[in-house]
Structure formats: structure tokens, C-alpha cells
Amino acid sequence: MDNGQPHAAVRQLRYAPAPGAGLGVEVLGFEQLRRMDPERRRTRPQRPDFHVLALVRSGEGRHTADFSDHLLRPGSVVWIRPGTVHRWTDIDRVDGPLILFEPDFLATPDTLTAPAVLSPPDVLTAPGPAPHTAADPFGSMTWQLDGRPRELAVLAADHLAAEYTAALAHPAAASPQLLAHLLAALVLRALPAEPAPAPAGRSRDHEVFRHYRAAVERDFAVHHDVEHYARALGYDRRTLTRATRAATGLGAKQFLDRRILLETQRLLAHTGLPAARCAERVGFTDAANFTAFFQRQTGLPPNRWRSTRSGR
């Protein structure tokens, strides 16, 4: 993990593993994070470009992701997706594994190709709960596991940690494919008891939605019209709307607007940029149009919404 250059009030974190640990995944712990951060920068807003998956084994604390504060206790799971603004508000007494991994490590077919003796399960090679949850920009970031599910998640995390440690000790025998399998197993064990259902893996609608979601993530700060995405992807608007609704319950335009709004709220809440500059960052050239969009989505003008955030 590397600390990127600060941008306004939010520190950008780039995925930069330690020398010899370029496996696409790192397994740390809360205790190690505290040792690495004597200045307690973890308590200030930060924005990683990688996934962070944490499982609280013991202790209590607090974590803030985007605009919600969460209590951490034994069995708490935290999943910070790339681009999420978050901070470890209080983890002084928290213990447990902390897994960092690159955005495509869980779902890239090349990464997951394995010898015939270890053919990858469908959840890795086809869209399923693990990659679907990883790619969901609006997915839950904190939930609770108790009883047997918690025990199995801890075992899965321990197995991943053991293989990761072995890979560092013996680089010639390191297997990113094996680590990817174990990470996927951990994700499946750590998902909430009733996760948001993933769309049918091999349906055309899901393929359409996956393409649309990726395009939105790439271009939402430039293009605000669904027609642009339809043309770029070779679909008509109705196809995008049907596929997006099947996957998320939202229409294509609602999904796009929600992503634009989320980024705008991050800028308003975590930077000192004037509202007009925040508008420019997400592709609005007219301040009045931006204000109308924001108020339609939240019920408040941008600056009034900002004033409701802590510390603003």
C-alpha cells in the first residue's frame, strides 16, 4: 500500500505492494496497519484505488465510509471498494485480517486460469456473487457475521493468510491463481447471509449490464446521457434500461444519475472545493443545471447538503 499525493482533504492511496509482494493481493492485519501509521493518518479521509476487505476478529471500534459511520465489533466485515472515501475512525483496539487486492484480481480470467487439477469454480470464471459484489459501486460496505458463518469466514481468511505468507517466503512457488481462488472463497464466506442477488451469470441482460456498468464507471464525469453509452456499446436505450433494471432495480438513467451523485457528494463532503468546482469535476458546465440536478436527487441545494456533513 502506497500513500499517493493528497488531493484537497482526501488522501489518494495507490496500490503499491512491498518489493517481492507483487501478487495482486496483500494480507495484513489491523495491528500491522497501526504500526505502519504512527501519525494516525488512517483516521483522516482517504480514497484507495484498490479493494480493502477486513474481518474483525476481536475488539471494538468505528469506521466511516462515504457518509455513514459504522460500529465495528467481533464478526464485523468491512468492504471498501476502489474510489470509496473512508477513514478508520477508531481501530486502536481492533484485531483481525485486512486484505488489499487489485480491482481485477478477483474476476480476471487470466489471473484465475489454473492447472487442470484445480479447475476454477464457476463463481470465478462466470459472473457470480463474488465478482458481482466486488464491482457494485453501491454495495454494502459493512455488515455483521455471527455464529458458524463468522467461524468459517475466519478460517477462510486464515487459509489465505497462510498461503500468502508462504508465497512471500518462497517466491518461486508462489501461485497468484491459488491466492485468487482463496480470496474468492473468503469473499463467498464473508458475504452477508442474504447478499444482493447477482444477475444470472450467462444471461444476455447481465452481459449488457456489466458492459454498461464499466462504461459508466469510466465516463460518468464526462457523459450524462444514456444515449451516449447506448451508442458506444452498440445497444439501444431500452436494452440498457431493461438490463440495468434486471440487475439493480434501477433504470439506466437512474443508475447513471446515482453514480454522478455519489461522486458529487464525495467531493462536497471531503474537499474544500466550491460547489461550482465540484460540478465541473463531474461534468456540469452550468452551475444552475448542477444545482437543479443535485436538489432533485437529494432534496437540498449542494451547499446546504454540505453543511449537514460533520465538520462542514
CATH number of the domain encompassing residue 223: 1.10.10.60
In a domain, 196, yes or no: no
CATH number at residue 139: 2.60.120
Q: Are residues 47 and 78 in the same domain?
A: yes
In a domain, 199, yes or no: no
The residue with cell 501461485 is: 175
Q: Are residues 131 and 169 in the same domain?
A: yes
**Domain end marker among 140, 158, 190:** 190
Q: Are residues 124 and 86 in the same domain?
A: yes
Q: Are residues 222 and 158 in the same domain?
A: no
Q: Are residues 120 and 221 in the same domain?
A: no
Q: Are residues 276 and 180 in the same domain?
A: no
Summarize pLDDT for 203-228 with one digit per residue, the tens: 777 789 889 998 999 999 999 999 99
Mean pLDDT of the chain: 84
Contacts 24+ apart (CB under 8 A), 291-297: 293/257, 293/260, 293/261, 294/261, 294/264, 297/257, 297/258, 297/261
Summarize pLDDT for 150-160 with one digit per residue, the tens: 999 999 999 99
CB 198 within 8 A of CB 128: yes
- 2 confidence band (pLDDT: 50, 70, 90): very low
Please count the structural domains in the chain: 2
Summarize pLDDT for 280-306 with one digit per residue, the tens: 999 999 999 999 999 999 999 999 999
Question: Residue 258 is part of which domain span?
Answer: 204-307
Output the pTM of the full model.
0.73
The stretch 81-110 carries a mean pLDDT of 86
Which of 180, 248, 174 has its CA nearest to residue 216?
A: 248
In a domain, 38, yes or no: yes
**Domain end marker among 156, 190, 224:** 190
Q: Are residues 158 and 281 in the same domain?
A: no
**Domain end marker among 148, 165, 190:** 190
* 303 CA to centre of own chain: 27
Q: Are residues 155 and 117 in the same domain?
A: yes
In a domain, 117, yes or no: yes
